[in-house]
């Protein structure tokens, strides 16, 4: 669990307002995502939070409303809301997300709600394949709308990158490989295991960080799309944990 500190004044305000609003009903506030991994960039990254409350009745949601509306007004995503029971019941539905949380999270308030969550490999396998196929379908749809508009196509590429990296993390977890903290290293590890061309993802990463690449957006998309399609066709063998699958 990462212990690095992200300094952001709105975090302190949110914690104070939420604890005042809920009192003993508030169990935990957990920071996850890039800020917990050490990949956070003030200009481009969100602060992702989970708030755990004993119960989430309409009255509790109303009590939370002022603090969360203020948080969202600062251009941050609304926190995810859970009860302890919801966490234990959701491990089979969100195995990738929960494994990421177990690897990289910072408990900002209260106890650690994810320390004892158990993830089963069959649930993880199903989510990896389903979401890879679903996100690739969305990428195709996005290309139909943006292929003639370079700036929008660039946004499609950069927005999708983090999503696919999260899925790569899940696949590495499934294979019981060590999962690196930083996105670039995750892509490298996944590409080595699945036999993909890492350069196709490196170009998208550079675009995401505002850097120039030698190729135009359509060419970048073509290589990226081809490698993602190859990843989907390989995923059934990839998750078996055999050495032959990356040959």
CA distance 183 to 205: 9
Judged against a pLDDT cut of 90, whether residue 237 lies above it is answered with no
- CA triplet 204, 206, 208: central angle to 5 degrees? 70
Judged against a pLDDT cut of 70, whether residue 87 lies above it is answered with yes
Most confident of 43-47, 113-117, 156-160, 163-167: 156-160
pLDDT attached to residue 121: 77
pLDDT attached to residue 40: 57
Q: What pTM does this model have?
A: 0.63
**Per-residue tokens: 15:** 């914690």
Q: 185-228 pLDDT, tens per residue?
A: 999 999 998 889 999 999 999 999 999 898 999 999 999 999 99
Q: 19-60 pLDDT, tens per residue?
A: 999 999 999 999 988 778 776 566 556 788 999 999 999 999
pLDDT attached to residue 244: 41
Three-state DSSP string of the chain: CCCCCCCCHHHHHHHHHHHHHHHHHEEEEEEECHHHHCCCCCCCCCCEEEEEECCCCHHHHHHHHHHHHHHHHCCCCCCEEECHHHHHHHCCCCHHHHHHHHHCEEEEEECCCCCCCCCCHHHHHHHHHHHHHHHHHHHHHHHHHHCCCHHHHHHHHHHHHHHHHHHHHHHHHHCCCCCCCCHHHHHHHHHHHHCCCHHHHHHHHHHHCCCCCCCCHHHHHHHHHHHHHHHHHHHHHHCCCCCHHHC
Q: Which among 4, 67, 69 has a CA at the least distance from the CA of 39?
A: 4
CA distance 143 to 149: 10
């Amino acid at each position: 669990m990462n212990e690095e500190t992200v300094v952001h004044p709105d975090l302190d305000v949110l914690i104070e307002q939420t604890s005042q609003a809920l009192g003993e009903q508030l169990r935990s506030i957990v920071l996850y995502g890039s800020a917990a991994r050490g990949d956070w960039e003030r200009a481009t990254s969100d602060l992702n939070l989970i708030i755990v409350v004993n119960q989430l009745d309409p009255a509790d949601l109303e009590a939370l409303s002022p603090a969360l509306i203020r948080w969202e007004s600062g251009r941050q995503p609304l926190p995810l809301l859970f009860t302890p029971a919801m966490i234990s019941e959701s491990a089979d539905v969100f195995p990738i997300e929960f494994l990421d949380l177990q690897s990289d999270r910072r408990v900002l308030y209260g106890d650690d709600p994810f320390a004892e969550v158990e993830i089963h490999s069959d649930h993880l396998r199903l989510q990896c394949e389903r979401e890879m196929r679903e996100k690739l379908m969305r990428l195709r749809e996005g290309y139909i709308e943006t292929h003639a508009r370079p700036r929008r196509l660039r946004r499609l590429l950069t927005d999708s990158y983090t999503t696919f990296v999260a899925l790569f993390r899940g696949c590495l977890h499934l294979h019981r490989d060590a999962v690196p903290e930083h996105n670039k290293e995750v892509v490298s590890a996944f590409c080595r295991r699945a036999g993909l061309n890492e350069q196709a993802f490196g170009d998208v990463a550079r675009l995401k960080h505002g850097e120039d690449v030698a190729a135009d957006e359509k060419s970048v998309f073509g290589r990226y799309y081809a490698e993602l399609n190859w990843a989907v066709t390989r995923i059934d063998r990839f998750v078996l944990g055999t050495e032959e699958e990356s040959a």
